[in-house]
Structure 1
Amino acid sequence: MTLPQRLGLTAPIIQAPMAGTSTPALAAAVCEAGGLGSVAVGALDPAGVRALVAEVRGRTARPFNVNLFVHRAPVADPEREAGWLDWLRSLFVEFGAEPPEALQAPYRSFVDDGEMLALLVELAPPVVSFHFGLPDAGAIAALRDKGVLLLATATNVEEARAIAAAGLDGVVAQGIEAGGHRGMFDPAAPDPQLGTLALTRLLAREALPVIAAGGIMDGAGIAAALDLGAVAAQLGTAFVLCPESAADEAYRAALAGPGAYATTLTPLVSGRPARALANRFTALGAELGERRVPDYPIAYHAGKALNEAAKARGEHGFGAQWAGQGAPLARAMPAGELVATLAAELAAARG
């Protein structure tokens, strides 16, 4: 049985797990339309994950994906973090707020969360995917023993080979065009910044089925990925304007505007490189100088606090408005209609 068959796909389309943007309603609508819907739970506690999975299951009986962050534990550096807050202080003051007294990681990695593993083993969602790395062999075996299909993100060939060696079922080939966080296992290592098509073609020669991700927004893009050896395509930015997504009005307006042509990779928001629509926050990169961003996700504490302070004063230029390089192709329509449109465009592209 092929990976798309195991995923229950009638269209080779996976809705990317987008923390803060994907919802059970979005995931379920994609599933019901024949794709694979995803929810991102890396920033949630076990109680939140239990509720989220229950809601998805209440909306669809089809397979769906639960995505987890598997980053290395952050290294606290009080001096660096205090310097970061001092640098941002003038912006907080602009919006009538004070920065946090100290920074803390707002969530844990799956690597360090035995309670989350126990919950997922209990719930046994149809698909679990990993971003930023891999859990240990014991966690992988525990999920596999429950019949869970496992995927993980790779940004280069070495990461893909590690995913194959760990016994997973498929690899998400994340090109540099992709919106949101780069899935590199080690953010301090050199990043070859491979594009989606080149990476897909390289990984198609390896041992695992490949899901292409990054900059794909329509049926023609899906067809190109399939022609290069992918078995499916994962789209994130394409679903942000769907009414089922949790994107706020400012995010939707920015994505639908001329700024969609200007996405940029920045570590400023969270501490890891992520592709976003250019805004006031990303523009701070020009002033970064020799400053070191706090470790991921400790930096997110400052970023989230600054965004909340700015939003309270009507300024929306500090949000994490993640978007890929295909952002100008985004369309506002219900998720099920979008999946059907993508499938029709794919059929037309492939003749």
Structure 2
Amino acid sequence: MTLLADLDLTVPIIQAPMAGVSTPALAAAVSNSGALGSISVGATDAAGAATMIDALKVLTDRAFNVNLFVHATPVRSAVVEAEWLQALAPLFETFDSRPPEALSAIYKSFADDDDMLAMLLATRPRVVSFHFGLPDDSRIRALKAAGCLLVSSATNPDEATAARKAGMDAVVAQGYEAGGHRGMFDPDGDDSQLGTLALTRLLVRDAGLPVIAAGGVMDGHGVRAALDLGAIAAQLGTAFIACPESAADEAYLRALGSQAAHHTVMTRVISGRPARGLPNHFVRWGRDNTTSIPGYPIAYDAGKALNQAARSRGEAGYGAQWAGQGAPLARSLPAADLVALLVEEMAASDGHEPTNARVT
């Protein structure tokens, strides 16, 4: 487990970078507990990302992960976008509002963001991770020269092979159970929908990289199972949503604690990419939708506008409430207490008393 030793981790747990939920306070609490905290900067610009990193560095002197979106530049279609806005119009009217006149690609891909690269080279986070794809060779070489360890997600063996060839230091095996956006490099391609167990074993055997298991892991017993599969660590996202340090609002937390947690679904309707979340009003509407959805992140522009209109009328069921299939196992604890409990559960599942021994 050289990667964990290089990061000075004492706990083989990574808090997943969840855009809109992860905060510097959450990441710092996790890192200060001996695990690896994470922030996602894919939904902000270089200045916003620098502010988050600066805030994190005030709260911890330990390693943390900065996650970026590396999605392909969306193919625009005026016809598809107009039809999508027309399809959403009755939903907006429910809240005495109107859809936007036009849509935009609200998130810039790291593949095209030179300002973000410059900021990362200046701040030198210990770990930089990628979702939706891989940056080009020049960006990878620059980050490695700056001393960053690089990690990318993979939903199948081919993506993991691409990660190894690109020079990644580790790969996240994102099982179909995982909450949030699927990390598929091609969101319109065939999804083999590999679960965490099968995908982790395949990548441990064939990827040629250290593997981090992600998807459905919510407690220390799940972490221990991931390690038994050959992973060097487990990445947990949904497990940290209910921590007070997260940015999840009260409506999100109520939904997470409801029966909806037992019925998470994969949907494109909110953002234009497949993502697993709680089945709220917008997700249920999307099940019956037959209109073509614009690509990510163009559709997200409309989804966010609809959510804002709904919230202005006191309705919270139209936003992104991402969660994985393990959502019913979520616990509301401060992040440091949750990490400590995960360690206790790992020890119990292994038949030993908890220990503070360093992971090596």
Q: Same fold (TM over 0.5)?
A: yes
Structure 1 unaligned residues grouped into runs of 5+ = none
Cα deviation, residue 258, structure 1: 1.3
Which residue number corresponds to residue 260 of structure 2?
Answer: 259
The 2-side partners of 1:139 and 1:118 are apart by 10
The 2-side partners of 1:200 and 1:309 are apart by 41
Question: Superposition pairs for residues 1-351 of structure 1, below 5 Å?
Answer: 2-205=2-205, 206-289=207-290, 291-351=291-351
Secondary structure in 2 matching 1:172? strand
Moved more, 71-80 or 320-329: 71-80
Amino acid at match of 2:329: L
Cα deviation, residue 8, structure 1: 2.1
Cα deviation, residue 285, structure 1: 2.5
4+ long deviations beyond 3 Å: none
Secondary structure in 1 matching 2:339? helix
Cα deviation, residue 46, structure 1: 0.9
Amino acid at match of 1:144: K
Moved more, 278-287 or 240-249: 278-287
Aligned residues: 350
Amino acid at match of 2:59: R
Amino acid at match of 1:198: A
Amino acid at match of 2:19: A
Percent identity for Structure 1 against Structure 2: 62
Structure 2 unaligned residues grouped into runs of 5+ = 352-360
Amino acid at match of 2:76: A
Task: Indicate the RMSD between aligned Cα atoms, in angstroms.
Answer: 0.7
The 1-side partners of 2:159 and 2:242 are apart by 31
Cα deviation, residue 122, structure 1: 1.2
Cα deviation, residue 54, structure 1: 0.2
**Structure-1-length-normalised TM-score:** 0.99
Question: Deviation per CA, 1:173-223, whole angstroms, max 9, x where unpaired?
Answer: 000000000000011111100000100000001210000000100011111
Secondary structure in 2 matching 1:73? coil
The 1-side partners of 2:13 and 2:288 are apart by 40
The 2-side partners of 1:148 and 1:286 are apart by 41
Moved more, 214-223 or 114-123: 114-123
Question: Deviation per CA, 1:43-84, whole angstroms, max 9, x where unpaired?
Answer: 111110111100000000000000000000011111100100
